Amino acid sequence: MELPKEYDYNAIEEKWMNTWQDSMFYFDWNSEKPQFIIDTPPPYPTGNFHIGNALNWCYIDFVARYKRMRGFNVMFPEGWDCHGLPTEVKVEELNGITKSQVSREEFRQMCVDLTTKNIERMRKSLRRLGFSIDWSNEYITMDPSYFGKTQASFVKMYERGNIYQQNHPVNWCPRCETAIAFAEVEYDARDTVLNYLNFDKLQIATTRPELLAACVAVAVNPDDVRYSKYVNTEVKVPVFGHKVKVIADKSVDPTFGTGVVMICTFGDKQDVRWWVEHKLPLRKAIDKTGKMTGIAGKYAGMSTDECKKAIIEDMKIAGILYKQEKLDQNVGACWRCKTPIEILSERQWFVKIVAEDILNTAKEVTWVPDYMKVRLENWTGTMEWDWCISRQRIFATPIPAWYCAECGKTKVAKEEWLPLDPTQTSPPEACECGSTKFRGEEDVLDTWMDSSISALHVSGWLSDKPLLLPAQLRPQGYDIIRTWAFYTILRSKALLDKKPWDTILLNGMVLGEDGHKMSKSRNNFVVPEEVMKKNGADAFRQWAAIGGTTGSDIIFSWKDVVAGSRFLQKLWSIVRFSMPHISDEPAPYTPIDLWLLSKLNRLVKECTEKMDAYQFDETFKAIRGFAWEILADNYIELAKSRLYGDGEGKRAAQYTLFIAIDTLTRLLAPFLPYFSEEIYSHIKNESVHLAPYPQADESLINAEAEATGELIKELTAAIRRYKSEHGMALNAKLAGVEIYSTMEDASDIAGAANSEVILKTGTPDFETVPAALKPNMKVLGKTYRSRAKSIAEALMSADPKLAISGRIDFTVDGEDITLDNSCFTVEKERLLKGKAVDVLEVGSTLIVISRE
RNA sequence: GGGCCCGUGGUCUAGUCGGCUAUGACGUCGCUCUUACACAGCGGAGAUCCGGAGUUCGAGUCUCCGCGGGCCCA
């Protein structure tokens, strides 16, 4: 059967996508094989699988397919991290409502419906990209089967004292009206104004005069002699008139403003620190919606901005505010809506952070690349307080707790009651006080509470399956080290006292072709579907493999994608040529066959090592180099004449070609699932994705065979170059070619050169003279150190004939120096005489070509 | 302000333990449509490795300073 000339990726990718059975990639819970569980990142179901996801999934799929072929029992699950604000916002937008216009349950259902639709769309993209996902281990965090586990993890940690409820300052987004975690706070540079105020007998500087009503103390540096006499006295707060203490604290910067700061509850994180340390009272001036409270007197009900304007005006008139200056300041903002955050003291749920546990567990995990570990270490321990896990939203996992209507006591659910929604059901037992009336907790969990048990979930935690933690691999982007990686380590340690995974593999961010972050406004946005349509999945996957080193940022490049489809066409041509020739009948190899097989087995060894180290770019480049340069450009050219002929040499070439294509196809399978499956279907009756990864046959890796083959290749290349330089066609016949070497067989060279080749031994009748001496700096430098340079120069200017004996003597700076031949190489020059011949030199072998 | 990474031909990129004329791709120039492939083959040109200082016999590689970029954070 003849293959079509062009590789039709569209038809072939479509064909295999519809042929493959999901069951090929199922994890076997009862397998004897070593397990390889991947803790796949559950994407947020926006409906679109973006290119950053696609890169990450390519990495995962390379590993999954490779490990399967290496005999591992692989789980490549697919999760969906459903909960969160973006879906709530989208639902409000799509339905033209606000969440308060419908019941909680109704609103939740709208979110579920939208998410379900989005997941369905994204599943299609995943299939099209050829990912070998284990759909039997799909999980959806909004399903009761998953969020029940999230709730169970909450209950377990609560019972162990890892979770507690407390009135504590939290980061608060007044627009989203919810508490948020530190990981959700972004810092942006903003211009602000520093206001100088007469503060009783002192002057203070503040950027937040609207918080004057919340002032609970004034602080100075203990070493600041200007103010020492005021320490421990009281001052009256202007406008509001309440009295506050003057305290001394080292962390006050005496050079900032007047050197006196006011402490408010709460202007920023530093205020919280002082508030805790000096046991200051609490004055709430801002409510949950960002409006001024009753203690703000005439400003009550205003937004913080309005209040700021108003109070500044009033203080100017009253002569309290005497100076203003511009100040660059970094302001914390909500990462979702960019609204500046407030710090409010509210009753919230917290998870205890034990930095030491996290750092120790992180050390047990292998980080690829290793330097990424530092990012986690730097983040751990910088948090000012524990992880706030309660959110004042709707579409999220409900916190399984109630408050007794009588005594107000908190009742947390028992594990066996889960899953449940406390706003829909009551606890099946009475409160300690005897009351059976409860109010369900309306707060919900931070979505990271869902996703931070993904590793536990896929490893069989709380199921009828065995618990297989730790998983083997966590692939993720470095942008979520401080969140997903951090929280997963925390939870795995707290719940099971184990590391969640053996290895964490970090991928970089995908940048647009202009080198900037992809964004719609920059117009450098590319979606995987577009690439798929133009060049197919296998070409896209090649970009992912070779576009950059694992862990570093990678620029999307159409050039790489196009180069990918060209490589497919090249491979296709190789196979198309080979198909009528290959045979699985062994025959005695010729030198060039052995050369190819040695190179091939060396390649297999290299690929295995590099895949084990997650170096996809290097693996793929090695395979491509072999296929293109060694197999296509050299071996096939050299073996052609045998293949066209008859006899033993032909059968050897047929068998060698078969081995090469079979091996190459299996090496390519993790990267090019569609293409390799198509090729394999022409040579074997099974799926390449169920075939074993090639094993290097060490006995075929042979330096001598490679040297012989290399010489044949070089000699052929020299003849080709000769033709090219002389403007001859490559199949032009040369009149007389003589090769002087110890080689026994030049038939492949003759075939490739399309000329008769006469093998001769010895050397032709040339005169050979030493022409130059080349210093070996590696030896000279070590031996002669600082004099190496002058000795090298002397060597180069010495008469080369003097070195014929293998050693040379000369004088440098009056000193006699003797060098043996480890210190230099003698370059020889050949003098031709007589006939009109061209001489090509390949190492020590000479090709003599008669001129016509 | 701190941490991490990066700066190599026109563009992107490789470069281990410092060691001779720095890898590959795309582009470019010349030749060749050779019974797999012109989306190809063969050959060529093109880089004082961001700047400066230092260590060293020797630095793209190590150290320090500077400039520029990216990311994570305060």
ipTM comes to 0.81
pLDDT tens profile A52-96: 888 889 999 999 999 999 999 999 999 999 998 888 888 988 998
A549 CA to B50 C1' in angstroms comes to: 22
What's the mean per-residue pLDDT of chain A? 86
In angstroms, how far is CA A829 from the centroid of its own chain?
54
Judge if the beta carbon of A769 is closer than 7 A to nucleic acid strand B.
no
Q: Is the pLDDT of residue A289 over 70?
A: yes
Judge if the beta carbon of A565 is closer than 7 A to nucleic acid strand B.
yes
Among A298-302, A454-458, A473-477, A832-836, whose mean pLDDT is lowest? A832-836
What count of Cα atoms within 13 Å lies in the side-chain half-sphere of residue A76? 26
Closest residue, CA to C1' of B37: A573
Positions 458-487 of A with beta carbon below 7 A from strand B are: 478-479, 481-482
- Are A302 and A310 contacting, i.e. CB atoms less than 8 angstroms apart? yes
Give the Cα separation of A234 and A53 in Å (integer). 58
pLDDT tens profile A655-680: 999 999 999 999 999 999 999 999 99
Query: Which nt has its C1' nearest the CA of A551?
Result: B5
List bases in chain B with any atom under 7 Å of a protein Cβ: 2-6, 12-15, 19-20, 24-26, 30-37, 39-43, 56-58, 69-74
Note the pLDDT of residue A725.
Answer: 63
A726 CA to B29 C1' in angstroms comes to: 18
Query: Which nt has its C1' nearest the CA of A775?
Result: B20
When pLDDT is cut at 50, 70 and 90, the band that residue A29 belongs to is very high
Higher pLDDT, A383 or A598: A598
Judge if the beta carbon of A524 is closer than 7 A to nucleic acid strand B.
no
Query: Which nt has its C1' nearest the CA of A517?
Result: B70
Note the pLDDT of residue A189.
Answer: 67
Judge if the beta carbon of A375 is closer than 7 A to nucleic acid strand B.
yes
Give the Cα separation of A538 and A186 in Å (integer). 38
In the numeric block, which tokens belong to residue A609? 């090592």
Note the pLDDT of residue A637.
Answer: 84
Q: Is the pLDDT of residue A156 over 90?
A: yes
Judge if the beta carbon of A559 is closer than 7 A to nucleic acid strand B.
yes
End-to-end CA distance of chain A: give it in Å, rounded: 44
In angstroms, the Cα distances linking A237 to A148, A203, A216, A277, A323 are 51, 11, 9, 21, 18
- Are A667 and A602 contacting, i.e. CB atoms less than 8 angstroms apart? no
Higher pLDDT, A427 or A2: A427
Higher pLDDT, A796 or A569: A569
Q: What are phi and psi of A411, to 5 degrees?
A: -120, 120
Positions 502-521 of A with beta carbon below 7 A from strand B are: 509, 515-517
Give the Cα separation of A382 and A400 in Å (integer). 30
A644 CA to B35 C1' in angstroms comes to: 10
Judge if the beta carbon of A273 is closer than 7 A to nucleic acid strand B.
no
In the numeric block, which tokens belong to residue A536? 């197919």
Closest residue, CA to C1' of B26: A559
Judge if the beta carbon of A279 is closer than 7 A to nucleic acid strand B.
no
Positions 313-352 of A with beta carbon below 7 A from strand B are: 330
- Per the rule left: phi > 0, alpha: psi between -120 and 50, beta: everything else, A696 is beta
A319 CA to B30 C1' in angstroms comes to: 84
